[in-house]
Structure 1
């Protein structure tokens, strides 16, 4: 009879508790959405909001150029973007969750002004940001709206498979 030996078991990594490494571009998008959200809620001037965001500890890990393009571009063209988004909504845009509204506006700017970024990447990033900050099923709503919006803004870009 063999003596009893304790076995060493390898424990699989807990996927739910893994810290996901965010890219600098993802952080920039998250911070831009937070800045747009602040502007929607507080009606504070854009330079003051940008200054506050830059003072956050996460900002050091972000792409400042992308943040500036997203935030200030969204602020400058928000009224135009609302006009593009409004027909795609099943409700008034003022009834939108402020986070979803901020994500849609920011993604609309990226779709309109940054053709170098493929639209599936923009939609995926918007979904991930919505999952981080939004409600339970907000990402599904954002996905549906941005899919339709991308087809309007970038009709010549190849479709996803």
Structure 2
């Protein structure tokens, strides 16, 4: 992998990290997304972040949260309201990427979500996130999973 590709992947990874934090904040506070984004951009060094991807993830996951929750419900073992906030933010982001970014291999989506859950979530939340998103990929990425 070239240095340019590594930089692109790193910038997207950072975008996901900031997006999951913003999604979590929105879930907890219901603050307007534009305020969350503006504050995040002001308070953090964002020069190595894929800003357009960050903006897309934050705004689209929040905007589509009800639809994403409906996608997640069949593969959850509990109610959405019973999920930990970090798990929910991570699952919504992963569901969005599985649904809307077919160019990203489903294994990459899962790996990124697992890393987010390890970094921000509880001790074993990454296992739960992995299981849920893997089941969701059976539906959203059936052909890719079978290949």
Do the structures match in fold with TM over 0.5?
yes
What is the distance in 1 between the residues matched to 2:105 and 2:22? 23
- Name the counterpart of 1:54: 41
What is the distance in 1 between the residues matched to 2:25 and 2:18? 10
Q: Return 5+ residue gaps in structure 2 as ranges.
A: 1-6
Provide, for residues 20-54 of structure 1, a one-character-per-residue CA deviation record: whole Å limited to 9, x for no partner. x9811111101000010000000101111111111
Residues 1:72 and 2:59 are matched in the alignment: yes
What is the distance in 2 between the residues matched to 1:158 and 1:147? 9
Q: How many residue pairs were aligned? A: 140
- Structure 1's consecutive aligned runs of 4 or more residues displaced over 3 angstroms after TM superposition are none
Q: Is the 8 A contact 1:28 1:62 kept in 2?
A: yes
TM-score calculated relative to the size of structure 1: 0.82
Structure having the higher Rg: 1
Kindly indicate which of the two structures has a greater share of residues assigned to helix. Answer: 2
Q: Return 5+ residue gaps in structure 1 as ranges.
A: 1-20
TM-score calculated relative to the size of structure 2: 0.90
Moved more, 85-94 or 34-43: 85-94
For the aligned residues, what is the CA RMSD?
1.6
Q: Is the 8 A contact 1:126 1:142 kept in 2?
A: yes
Give, in angstroms, the shift of residue 90 of structure 1.
Answer: 1.1
What is the distance in 1 between the residues matched to 2:50 and 2:121? 22
- Structure-2 change in CA distance of 1:58 and 1:126 (3 Å): farther
Tell me the SS of whatever aligns to 1:121.
helix
Aligned partner of 1:119 among 106, 117, 120: 106
- Name the counterpart of 1:149: 136
